[in-house]
């Protein structure tokens, strides 16, 4: 609370406001005990100093995660801190060990994913950001370590998010403890799946929430000795029974009634239901539907949830039959009967509902009517049957409805508990209490009275817990707290529950008297509690009363208290329903013992409520409590709206302000020593520079300022209320004086600087102006002389220019006229030529288009016909391929069909060739005839010209006229004959042109037919290709089936045979394999070349008698010797692992890759598996990683699948996490160009000159097993390094605290700075040392550099993930000095990458990009001046870091509020459409390479000169391993 001492003019304070609860402002004037304040919203207010609270101007921009860290722990400070964090989507905040959760009204999935759970697992409370997971983790750890049960109390008003918080708690507890192996669903799944059922029957719409729980729920999660969830039980408390019969507008009844009315039509007709408006229990309110909620959909969802919980279909029908019966029961109305004070059903409608109720409950309608309208009184003399008036019958009806619904709800809870299953041997449990919060409406009745009574009880428990925590804090810090008073609410509890004079007792007493009314009850209360300070009688009401609860005064209306309090079961109702023909209804009302029946003791809801509450408090008292207070930020149920007044009321109702009041009674302000010195060291700089102990410095500062009542603990300074404000005022005064001194000096400096600059500028200006005048005079003289010269030259230029212009104009005119004539002639010629070309091109295009159209049509027809035939054939092939036994027959048919298609293809080709040749010859003939006709036409034209010339000459030379007529006649005849001949020639030319057109048309048709046949030919070729592919697939499938059958029979077949049988069988199998592979058909000689000289000798009959041992036994001995040899550490020859080379050469020599059955592969794999059992020995793991990867490389470049399997395309292996999870998949892809050759039992060349070996199934399986072992060893090595550096990473994210204290004291400038820096980065140097040792181990074992690069890339990615996630989850790490500390460590890692070179480090440094960016933000200067684009584009993490940043070194602020708001907008947009909303990084533990990657990255290996180890060097059976001269 503020005092006149620390409130001065200019102080920033909080003052009360009716609309905003609290508003900040600045004190502008002081008038005695009053202060005038200029608020931030522009108003001027006057307030008393006792009602003003100081504002912390140095509070972090993002608020504090624990409100006990606030400098001023008061209501406005708490409210402002919650508001700041809510705007940043930080919905969780601590108050000590109490968690405040504000409902965001939006999905924040990044807060609840599995990665976030992993971060909070085992983390100390308060180390990470506040979270519901942290509370659950503390409860679980306390239960495991101390063996005591714990409870988590979740409270808050309707809509605050209690149910969702409870779900998150159960999810996290299931994640922590795991579960006992069960069939089907887990315990937590069953508990969560029961929620829809309980919500349907126990939730309803209230004024403030559409889905408010109207009962208390205590979920007991049971654990076994190993800490695993072994069972659960749901305990329900205080169901609001009166809601069944009475609801107020705009609330609704329980959801199940509306769900049933929205059921499918057959259900509605079955139960004779209708619109909810037609039922009395539902139409008391005008609200029937919820916005955005489908009752029909929820009905089906509830039925599904009942199925999941284990409620059978028959039981479900019975449940909804009972619900329908309650609705019909509410519609029964009564009127006066014939007798006095009697009642009967009012009309036919009431009788219909009466009969429907009896039908649904399966009881007698007459008995039901008697049970509602009559009472039986048993006296010692006789049994008296008394009638009830209509009001009494209505009360009886409502009582029956409440009783049935209450029994139904209890049955559902019991059924769910039976379904979940409970562990009778469990001794540890964690209880999660989800119960309604404090309620205060305009009209408050008996339900609100009971709810607030419950909250008073829980508040007392809460106050005791808070006071206990305060005591523990003071005791831990060795603080004297004996004089602190405890705030208690026992007087309110006595007012309500004390016997015999409490309100509940008086209410029960009033209910037992028939003539009591709510007025007599209210008068009794007024008389009894007229002097009680917590009980208030309203002035304008005779039946209302007010109770001053811990959260405020509540006015109750006692009108219906008596009716709602009555709870006893009428014996007539009990007898009626226990005799029901429906076993379900009869089960809800079992027969009571006779003693209970005879002693019909009065029972009330109030006393029953009180008993249940007492049981609940006993349960809570036996557990260690943890508190979560849920807050609803606004009544609109929308995100990003923070209503101050509403939240302040909830904080009062939730007891948070009560907890603050308890803290204020002691020491509300607590500061760590280094924080206190950092803030108030300026008050006594001489003490800070003295290098005293931090505790001593704090004490001397406080003593110097004359403060009393403070205490200094072991690690913190404890200040009384108001002392922090006083220190801040004195600090502000010191800083103000220092600022004035700095301003004085700066102003003096600026004035002198300005004078000197002005004098210097004046002299400079004078010199410039004098020089300028001289220049101007010289310029004028120069200009005058130049003007004369310019005039002379201008006149000469103008005269010459006029002459030149006239001459040029004449030339231009002549040139233009000549050019115009030439262009006109050229244009005419060009147009003529273009017209001819266009005619030519158009005719050519028309003919070509017609030809292409015909060709395209023929191709389409061919394609469709061939496709039809191909599909028909494919159908036949599929039907034939379904039978495994018909594979051989299908293969033969396909081969025959391929031959037939090949023959047809060749025939088609020959026909197409012949047709093309015929067409070519015909076209040639037509062209020749056309040319001959053209020649004839030309000759005829020439002859005609000659005849005309001759006729002309004859006319000219004719003598007399008489002869002249003869000549004319003869010439005319000749001309006529020539003209006729010309006409005939034209006709023949026309015929020839027609023939040419016909030929062209036939040619086009022929071309179309050719194209159609080409299409058919292409389709045939495609079909042949498809048949070949299907044939190859069938062969591959057949080969795989045979190989698998042989492998399965391998263990059942005896290996030991007679030598001659073995040899003959082996040679026979070799010939068969060669024949199947296609080697004997073409040329059998190469197959024989593959055998060594020793094999040829074994085929000789004389050699079979010489060996004393069988070949099988000798081979077993060699294999045994090889296994014993490779089990030893054989070392390396250069950079080549000897063991891998020896294994490879032996397997090649023994032809193990081509054998159908062998055990050598299994023995080699078993040897490797035994060698790597010691997972902690990195040297052994690196040795076998080098050998396994080298052997895998040799196999990859040598083996190919046998038969058709070699034709299959390479398929990538799946990344299964199990060792042999991929062994059943085939691996056939092999690079080409690798050969094998054997000469006299040895290798003739290196790997490059070897040929590929057709491997059988065991060899391929061995290759896949070896691949799996390479991946397993790689993962073990990587995980070992992660385990080694993980503890160091936890120490590397946060600088040691001593470094910060030294920064405050100024010791960082001392001579020991370098030694201190070395001590700070010792953890980072430990990581670098581990990386160096690990790299040396891998180098010493010659692990391929490709694998080394992959290991370090993933290790650096792991470092990036761990550091980055820890930074985001721990606010204390987001400081400037901590950024410098981590930056120095990252420099060490960068230096290590440089020394390791790119060959081994690769791109490892790039994997640290996220932590480098985050640290770069922490250490940049002048953050408030930075814009969003200047900082980064990675918004979500950077947004979180910018809100958590605090500068512990220079006291600067984070980025500006504008940048933060822009980040928030962009982050919200990204979170709406992002794939993953989590801002945390995930560690990648996959295998980042494939066999092909290894093969491409590793160099060629020469295995010829490898010396065998001594164990097998002298053995003659391994002579092929000895190096051979070229």
Query: What amino acid positions are annotated as catalytic residues?
Result: 158-159, 163, 209, 212-213, 437, 439
Retrieve residue 1027's tokens. 């048949």
Name which of 190, 193, 187 is nearest 174 in CA terms.
Answer: 187
Cα angle value 848/853/855 (rounded, 5°)? 95
Angle of the 1138-1149 helix axis to the 1111-1126 helix axis, nearest 10: 170
Instruction: Yes or no: say if 333 and 346 are a contact pair by the CB < 8 Å rule.
Output: yes
From CA 1018, how far away is CA 867, in angstroms rounded? 11
From CA 970, how far away is CA 951, in angstroms rounded? 10
Strand partners, 374: 387
What kind and span of H or E run contains 662? helix 656-665
Retrieve residue 1327's tokens. 């990581």
Instruction: Yes or no: say if 1405 and 1356 are a contact pair by the CB < 8 Å rule.
Output: yes
**487 contact partners, CB below 8 Å, separation of at least 6:** 463, 658, 661, 662, 665
Instruction: Yes or no: say if 170 and 192 are a contact pair by the CB < 8 Å rule.
Output: yes
Question: Is the alpha carbon torsion for 1068, 1073, 1076, 1080 positive or negative?
Answer: negative
From CA 993, how far away is CA 840, in angstroms rounded? 17
> To which residue do tokens 């190469």 refer?
1086
From CA 1148, how far away is CA 1199, in angstroms rounded? 10
From CA 227, how far away is CA 150, in angstroms rounded? 13
> To which residue do tokens 């299907």 refer?
1030
Strands 716-719 and 1132-1133, bridge-based pairing = unpaired
Strand partners, 387: 374
Helices (H) and strands (E) in the chain, counts: 50, 30
> To which residue do tokens 């299409």 refer?
1015
The string of DSSP letters for 45-95 reads: EEEEGGG-EE--TTS-TT--SBGGG-SS-SHHHHHHHHHHHHHTT--EEEE
Tell me the CB-side half-sphere exposure of residue 1192, using CA atoms within 13 A. 28
Tell me the CB-side half-sphere exposure of residue 814, using CA atoms within 13 A. 6
Retrieve residue 469's tokens. 């925590």
From CA 1112, how far away is CA 1125, in angstroms rounded? 20
Strands 98-102 and 624-631, bridge-based pairing = parallel
From CA 1327, how far away is CA 1386, in angstroms rounded? 11
Rg (alpha carbons) of the chain, rounded to whole number: 51
> To which residue do tokens 């005695």 refer?
32
Label each residue of 971-1025 as H, E or C.
HHHHHHHHHHHHHHHHHHHHHHHHHHHHHHHHHHHHHHHHHHHHHHHHHHHHHHH
Strand partners, 624: 150
Contacts 24+ apart (CB under 8 A), 730-739: 730/683, 730/705, 731/679, 731/680, 731/682, 731/683, 732/11, 734/682, 734/683, 735/682, 738/682
From CA 93, how far away is CA 584, in angstroms rounded? 48
Cα 1374 to Cα 44, 123, 359, 1316, 1363: the distances in Å are 39, 18, 70, 21, 12
Cα 535 to Cα 445, 516, 528, 545, 1023: the distances in Å are 16, 22, 10, 7, 98
């Amino acid at each position: 609370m503020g005092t006149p001492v620390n409130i001065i003019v200019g102080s920033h304070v909080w003052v009360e406001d009716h609309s905003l609860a609290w508003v900040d402002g600045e004190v502008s004037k002081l008038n005695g005990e009053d202060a005038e304040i200029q608020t931030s919203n522009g108003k001027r207010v006057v307030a008393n100093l006792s009602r003003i609270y100081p504002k912390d101007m140095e509070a972090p921009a993002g608020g504090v995660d624990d409100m006990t860290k606030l400098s001023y722990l008061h209501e406005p400070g708490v409210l402002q801190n919650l508001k700041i964090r809510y705007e940043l989507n930080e919905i969780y905040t601590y108050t000590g060990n109490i968690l405040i959760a504000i409902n965001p009204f939006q999905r924040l999935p990044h807060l609840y994913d599995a990665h976030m759970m992993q971060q909070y697992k085992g983390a100390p409370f308060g180390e990470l950001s506040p979270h519901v997971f942290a509370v659950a983790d503390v409860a679980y750890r306390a239960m495991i370590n101390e063996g005591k049960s714990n409870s988590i109390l979740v409270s808050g008003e309707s809509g605050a998010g209690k149910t969702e918080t409870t779900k998150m708690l159960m999810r996290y507890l299931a994640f922590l403890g795991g579960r006992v192996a069960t069939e089907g669903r887990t315990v937590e799944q069953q508990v969560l799946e029961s929620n829809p059922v309980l919500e349907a029957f126990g939730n309803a719409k209230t004024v403030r929430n559409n889905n408010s729980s109207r009962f208390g729920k205590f979920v007991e999660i049971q654990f076994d000795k190993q800490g695993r969830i072994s069972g659960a039980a749901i305990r329900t408390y205080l169901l609001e029974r009166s809601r069944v019969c009475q609801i107020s507008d705009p609330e609704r009844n329980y959801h199940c009634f509306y769900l049933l009315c929205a059921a499918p039509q057959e259900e509605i007709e079955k139960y004779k239901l209708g619109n909810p408006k037609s039922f009395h229990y539902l139409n008391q309110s005008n609200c029937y539907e919820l916005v955005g909620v489908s009752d029909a959909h929820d009905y089906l969802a509830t039925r599904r949830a009942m199925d999941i919980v284990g409620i059978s279909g028959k039981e479900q029908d019975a449940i909804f039959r009972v619900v329908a019966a309650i609705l019909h029961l509410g519609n029964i109305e009564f009127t006066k009967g014939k007798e006095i004070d009697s009642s009967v059903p009012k009309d036919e409608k009431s009788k219909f509902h009466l009969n429907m109720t009896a039908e649904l409950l399966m009881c007698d309608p007459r008995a039901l009517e008697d049970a509602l309208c009559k009472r039986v009184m048993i006296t010692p003399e006789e049994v008296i049957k008394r009638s009830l008036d209509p009001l009494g019958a209505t009360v009886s009806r409502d009582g029956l409805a409440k009783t049935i619904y209450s029994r139904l709800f209890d049955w559902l809870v019991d059924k769910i508990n039976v379904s979940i299953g409970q562990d009778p041997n469990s001794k540890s449990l964690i209880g999660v209490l989800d119960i309604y919060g404090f309620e205060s409406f305009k009209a408050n009745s008996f339900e609100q009275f009971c709810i607030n009574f419950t909250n008073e009880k829980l508040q007392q428990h809460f106050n005791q817990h808070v006071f206990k925590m305060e005591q523990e804090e003071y005791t831990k810090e060795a603080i004297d707290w004996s004089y602190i008073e405890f705030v208690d609410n026992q007087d309110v509890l006595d007012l309500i529950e004390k016997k015999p004079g409490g309100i509940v007792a008086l209410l029960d007493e009033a209910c037992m008297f028939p003539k009591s009314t709510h007025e007599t009850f209210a008068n009794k209360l007024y008389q009894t509690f007229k002097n009680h300070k917590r009980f208030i009688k309203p002035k304008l009401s005779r039946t209302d009363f007010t109770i001053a609860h811990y959260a405020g005064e509540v006015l109750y209306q006692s009108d219906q208290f008596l009716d709602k309090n009555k709870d006893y079961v009428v014996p007539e109702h009990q007898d009626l329903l226990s005799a029901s023909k429906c076993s379900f209804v009869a089960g809800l009302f079992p027969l009571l013992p006779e003693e209970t029946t005879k002693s019909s003791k009065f029972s009330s809801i109030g006393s029953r409520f009180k008993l249940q509450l007492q049981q609940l408090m006993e349960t809570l008292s036996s557990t260690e409590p943890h508190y979560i207070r849920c807050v609803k930020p606004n009544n609109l149920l929308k995100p990003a709206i923070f209503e101050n007044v509403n939240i302040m009321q909830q904080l009062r109702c939730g007891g948070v302000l009560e907890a603050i009041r308890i803290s204020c009674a002691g020491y509300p302000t607590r500061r760590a020593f280094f924080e206190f010195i950092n803030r108030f060291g300026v008050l006594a700089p001489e003490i800070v520079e003295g290098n005293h102990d931090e505790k001593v410095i704090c004490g001397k500062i406080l003593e110097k300022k004359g403060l009393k009542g403070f205490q200094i603990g072991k690690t913190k300074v404890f200040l009384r209320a108001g002392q922090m404000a006083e220190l801040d005022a004195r600090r502000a005064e010191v800083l103000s004086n220092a600022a004035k001194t700095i301003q004085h000096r700066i102003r003096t400096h600026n004035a002198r600087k300005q004078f000197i600059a002005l004098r210097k500028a004046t002299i400079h200006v004078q010199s410039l102006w004098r020089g300028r005048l001289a220049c101007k005079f010289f310029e004028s003289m120069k200009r005058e002389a130049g003007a004369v010269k310019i005039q002379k030259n201008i006149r000469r230029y103008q005269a010459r220019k006029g002459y030149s212009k006239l001459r040029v104009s004449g030339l231009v005119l002549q040139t233009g006229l000549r050019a115009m004539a030439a262009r006109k002639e050229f244009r005419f010629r060009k147009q003529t030529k273009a017209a001819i070309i266009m005619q030519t091109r158009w005719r050519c295009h028309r003919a070509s288009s017609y030809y292409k159209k015909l060709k395209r049509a023929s191709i389409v027809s061919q394609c469709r016909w061939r496709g039809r035939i191909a599909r028909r054939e494919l159908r036949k092939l599929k039907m034939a391929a379904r039978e495994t036994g018909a594979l051989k027959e299908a293969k033969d048919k396909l081969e025959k069909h391929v031959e037939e298609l090949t023959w047809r293809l060749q025939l088609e080709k020959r026909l197409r060739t012949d047709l093309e040749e015929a067409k070519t010859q015909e076209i040639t003939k037509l062209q020749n005839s056309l040319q001959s006709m053209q020649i004839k036409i030309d000759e005829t034209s020439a002859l005609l010209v000659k005849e005309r010339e001759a006729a002309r000459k004859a006319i000219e030379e004719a003598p007399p006229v008489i002869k002249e007529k003869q000549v004319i006649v003869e010439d005319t005849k000749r001309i006529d004959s020539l003209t006729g001949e010309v006409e005939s020639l034209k006709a023949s030319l026309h015929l020839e042109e027609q023939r040419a057109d016909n030929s062209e048309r036939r040619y086009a048709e022929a071309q179309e037919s050719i194209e159609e046949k080409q299409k058919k030919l292409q389709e045939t070729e495609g079909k042949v290709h498809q048949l070949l592919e299907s044939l190859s697939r069938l062969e591959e499938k057949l080969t795989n089936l045979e190989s698998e059958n042989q492998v399965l029979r391998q263990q059942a077949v005896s290996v030991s045979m007679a030598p001659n049988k073995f040899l003959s069988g082996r040679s026979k199998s070799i010939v068969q394999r060669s024949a199947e592979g296609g080697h004997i058909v073409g040329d059998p000689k190469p197959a024989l070349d593959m055998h060594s000289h020793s094999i040829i000798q074994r085929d000789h009959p004389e050699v079979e008698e010489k060996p004393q041992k069988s070949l099988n036994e000798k081979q077993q001995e060699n294999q045994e010797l090889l296994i014993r040899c490779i089990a030893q550490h054989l070392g390396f020859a250069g950079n080549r692992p000897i063991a891998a080379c020896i294994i490879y050469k032996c397997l090649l020599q023994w032809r193990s890759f081509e054998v159908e059955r062998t055990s050598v592969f299994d023995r080699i794999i078993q040897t490797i598996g035994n060698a790597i059992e010691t997972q902690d020995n990195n040297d052994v793991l690196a040795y076998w990683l080098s050998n396994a990867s080298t052997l895998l490389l040799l196999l990859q470049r040598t083996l190919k699948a046998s038969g058709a399997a070699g034709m299959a395309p390479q398929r990538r292996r799946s990344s299964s996490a199990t060792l042999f999870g991929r062994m059943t998949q085939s691996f056939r892809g092999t690079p080409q160009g690798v050969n094998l050759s054997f000469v006299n039992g040895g290798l003739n060349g290196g790997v490059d000159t070897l040929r590929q070996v057709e491997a059988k199934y065991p060899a391929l399986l061995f290759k896949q097993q070896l691949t799996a072992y390479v991946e397993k060893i790689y993962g073990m090595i990587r995980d070992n390094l992660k385990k080694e550096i993980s503890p160091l990473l936890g120490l590397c994210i946060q600088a040691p605290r001593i470094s910060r204290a030294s920064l405050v004291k100024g010791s960082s400038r001392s001579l020991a700075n370098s030694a201190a820096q070395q001590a700070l980065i010792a953890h980072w140097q430990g990581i670098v040392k581990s990386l160096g040792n690990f790299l040396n181990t891998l180098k010493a074992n010659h692990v391929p550099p490709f694998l080394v690069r992959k290991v370090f890339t993933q290790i650096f990615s792991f470092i990036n993930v761990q550091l980055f996630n820890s930074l985001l989850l721990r606010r204390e790490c987001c400081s400037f000095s901590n950024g410098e500390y981590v930056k120095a460590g990252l420099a060490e890692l960068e230096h290590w990458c440089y020394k390791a070179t790119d060959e081994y480090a690769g791109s490892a440094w790039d994997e640290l990009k996220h932590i480098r960016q985050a640290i770069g933000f922490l250490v940049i200067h002048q953050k408030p001046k930075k814009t969003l684009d200047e900082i980064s584009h990675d918004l979500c993490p950077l947004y979180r870091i910018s809100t958590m940043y605090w500068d512990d070194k220079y006291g600067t602020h984070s980025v500006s509020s504008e940048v933060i708001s822009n980040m928030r907008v962009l982050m919200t947009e990204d979170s709406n459409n992002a794939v993953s909303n989590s801002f945390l990084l995930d560690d990648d533990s996959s295998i980042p390479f494939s066999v092909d990657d290894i093969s491409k990255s590793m160099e060629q290996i020469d295995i010829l000169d490898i010396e065998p180890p001594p164990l097998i060097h002298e053995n003659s059976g391994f002579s092929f391993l000895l190096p051979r001269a070229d």
